[in-house]
Amino acid sequence: MKVDTMSASKLFFVFLALLVFLVPNLAPESFASDSDSANTAIEQAEDVMASAYEAVLEAEQVGANVSGSLARLNIAAENLANAHICHGLGDFENATRFANLCYNIGEEVRSEVHKLKIEAYGPHVTSLWMRTIVSIVSTIGIILASFLGWYVFKGRYHKRMLRMKPEVG
């Protein structure tokens, strides 16, 4: 029985020694991986936020109501700020989580603003089509009226010319 206890304690000691020597070598790699993924998530969130703000600006210039979108972008900006704070504190898991929340909100806002922009363009496009149709119909009307006027003028001219008596002199 003494041999079994001795073998178990030696096995435990060997396991403990391996654990002590291997963990410090493995930990920085996983730490760097978490830091890299957090950096990547934050960069993607920043890119999406920039493009979402540009889309909101374009939609606002067209005349779309973007107040709700701006409120959601403010929430996304808070998440991005929290991601930066967590990253600075070394909490890479929460930094990644906040950055992903920001990314998702930014994507949703961008697609929502795209729809708002299309809706705002609707009346402009309808107005453009109406102007085009009225212009075409007016041009056709003017051309037909011109031909009708020419036909009437030509008929009257011929009748007047036939009633004239040539003077022989």
Q: Please write the tens of the pLDDT for every residue from 82-110.
A: 999 999 999 999 999 999 999 999 999 99
Q: Where are the domains of the chain?
A: 2-163
For position 80, what pLDDT does the model report? 94
Residue 121 banded pLDDT, cuts 50, 70, 90:
confident
For position 32, what pLDDT does the model report? 45
For position 29, what pLDDT does the model report? 40
pLDDT for residue 61 is more than 60? yes
- Of 95, 108, 99, which is closest to residue 52 (Cα–Cα)? 108
Query: What percentage of the chain has pLDDT greater than the value 70?
Result: 79
Q: Which residue has the higher pLDDT, 168 or 76?
A: 76
Query: What percentage of the chain has pLDDT greater than the value 90?
Result: 51
Q: Please, what CATH class does the domain formed by 2-163 belong to? A: mainly alpha
Residue with tokens 């969130």: 45
Q: Please write the tens of the pLDDT for every residue from 2-50.
A: 545 557 667 666 666 666 566 555 544 444 468 889 999 999 999 999 9
Burial (0-12, 13-18, 19+ Cβ within 10 Å), 4: exposed
Give the CA angle between residues 10, 13, 16 to the nearest 5°.
150
For position 95, what pLDDT does the model report? 93
Mean pLDDT in residue range 121-130: 85
Give dist(CA 61, CA 64) in Å, integer: 7
